Structure 1
Amino acid sequence: MTTTQDAVTAAERCTPEFRRDPHTVYARLREAVPVCPMRPPHGNETYLITRYEHARAALSDPRLSKDMYGALDAYRRIFGESSVALDDNMLNSDPPKHTRLRRLVSSQFTPRRVEALRPRIEELAGDLLDACPTREPFDLLPAFAFPLPIGVIGELLGVPAEDRPLLQRLSTTVAQSGFGEEAKRAQQEAEEGLHACFTDLVAAKRAHPGEDLLSALVTARDGDGGLTESELVSTAFLLMFAGHKTTAYLIGNAVHHLLSRPAQLRALREDPELIRATVEELVRFEGSVESATFRYATEDVEYGGTLIPKGSLVQIALSSANRDPRKFDAPDEFDVTRPGNARDAHVGFGHGIHYCLGAPLARLEMQVALTSLFDRFPRMAPADPAGGPRWMQVPFPAFRGLAELPVVLDPSG
């Protein structure tokens, strides 16, 4: 039986105490109530899944729908009409629509095309580091962790450089919006602004196509036709939003944990071939996507002996699943030499048909970012090691990232 002490409310997952250390709470939930009923402020019955076995199954369970707006009136009521226009994409759809949308996008988002970006990503990283102070403390997040991925995805999509700062600001507002009236108004304005920006961008690509991903998507066709105007706008938003937010937070998390563990950083520096293993371990240990986006039960489903009634919302705690001792040995230890068969089993990029399409790009950007930083500045250190990390406060625990990352690149200089 679930007790008040065992359960956790949606609001409690957003407190400063929880944001500082969610892993202790997740560990308790995995043992006491692995499928945990929550009491969210929007009132819809919601269940939080925390164990690896259940999380992996739920991520590919066709009974848990991602078509939140098409089938759940409450979701439309909670998040408003402005969000609907940006969510007509593969992330928020089920087969057969999801199959068609993903096929059209993935045909232009191939591993070969991603790997071909390596020299340009290295160039962008170098330019950003050239502009950073070397002997004075500064915040690495706005100077490097955020502009690198937004530059990469911006160039890949063909977003003009002058438009990227506005898109980043509007995306941040959407990511950090809450349930209060003022927050809802800010979210609505940001979503309307994003929709207008991407509508104009799609029109520009249709009139004057270039050698970029968005131009390719405008003309992409398969046996079922191409993307509709609504799908194009929403897909462009999804790729831009997911293509920079999650990677930026992941870069920050990675630098923090490597600087906090000199032995692990030394192992990586002594064996650069460990960079791929290091990235996978970082995604497992402190991924930037704490919880998968909502699903809802189209029928009664059961996990771990807990019944999730039809119509309930379901949230899958990826951060918790990736530290489940039933799956990973010593899961709370960060180890860049963790065996691959254990390390690579993480669900940090999801699982099933909604597995992150941008995972190869995120991995490549992480490899380049960390290699560029630590090769160029081997003595980089936290600027305030005694203060400890300050984690971002969010109304929805979807993202896990630092609010700031003060460092000194060359403290001995």
Structure 2
Amino acid sequence: MVARRVCRTHPEQVPNDALVKLSADLRDDLAGLYKDLHRNPELSLQEVRTARILAQCLRDAGADEVVEQVGGTGVVGVLRNGDGPVVMLRADFDALPVEEKTGLEYASTVRATDRDGHEMPVMHACGHDMHAACLAGAAHLLAQARDSWRGTVLVVFQPAEELAIGARGMVEDGLFDRFPKPRIVLGQHVGPLPAGFIGYGTGPVMAASDSVNIVLHGRGAHGSRPEAAIDPVLMAANVVTRLQGIVAREVPAAQPAVVTVGRLQAGTKENIIPETAELGVNIRTYSPQVRDLVRAAVERIARAESQASAAPSEPTIDWFASAPMLISDPDATRTTLAAIGDHFGPERILPIPVVNASEDVGVFGEVLGVPTVFWFWGGLDPAVAGPAFREGREDELPSNHSPFFAPLLEPTLSTGVEALTVAALTWLDDRPAAD
């Protein structure tokens, strides 16, 4: 019932000559959808409720086909409208293990258990709830004005982006065998820009990402007798320090790269030297050569420190998630952003530098060998974000993955819906469908 309440259709209020404009009623429905998703976030691969709601949104919009549980919890909708190009629109919808501190009346208070059995707070701290609501809105507009375009729209709600496994999971579950193959993949991400503005880059726009778990093996003992132990905590401390030298001393200065140790866990009590220490490491790179170099250096350092410490066994090294470098096809990006700029006005379109964060949306286009176009749009209050950018204080603004990050509802929502709709129409055939 929730999906029907927040996703009603209003075909009579989406005239063909104003296809990309939201009616007041549809805007209210999508705002309700967004707030509902924000209030009820779900961790990666646990997005069961969210997937059910989004699938119902597509059915209510009049999608010709809606399939759930693609690649786990993914949802795929197909809008068919005669012969013509196939265009894919993609949004992610998983949340993060973050405790929300926005103070919003629809803030999340959800707690959940992750795949390792740990209970934690959950929040849509990266804007995926906004992504999903905007794609639902674009699907509504396109479905209700089929006499304005011809072709097929493939609507993909992707799970588990935060684990960098959702896109590949959908592909491996037959996404492009079971559904029409697109000629182009279109996606967007809300971020710390002023609401109403679009940011874009061409070519490489987001880094490749690789994550690894490292377990260092030692020998436990009483804290008063370190000579009887092989201390994995000391090993871990030295590994963390040495990892920070990879970018500073091994990667060419002109090549961007990041090595982050985001997790270090060892022991249960201050006077017990444990048997193991675990590190969670993430790297970001922008070339295959640097990617291979950094991965090899991470492994080399972990093994060398274990050997230097006389560890009883080699470290356990598990590379468990990766996303390719995201390349926004230059020609297709220029075409798409020209259309978006015509719609919003060129003053709202901003070129932005490369982003060291990562996105697995590039998997789809890479697998098919078709262009991907990816852009960013702002979600921060312009009255706050504008002065911060002008004064060089943008680092003070809440950004993705912050407990304080929540997009300003409007104009963020309308901008995201309209941008996706314009982008889709740019690549669909604008001839009316044959009777």
Give the TM interval when normalised to the shorter protein.
Answer: under 0.3
The structure with more helix, counted as a fraction of residues: 1
- TM-score, normalization by structure 2: 0.24
Q: Which has the greater radius of gyration?
A: 2
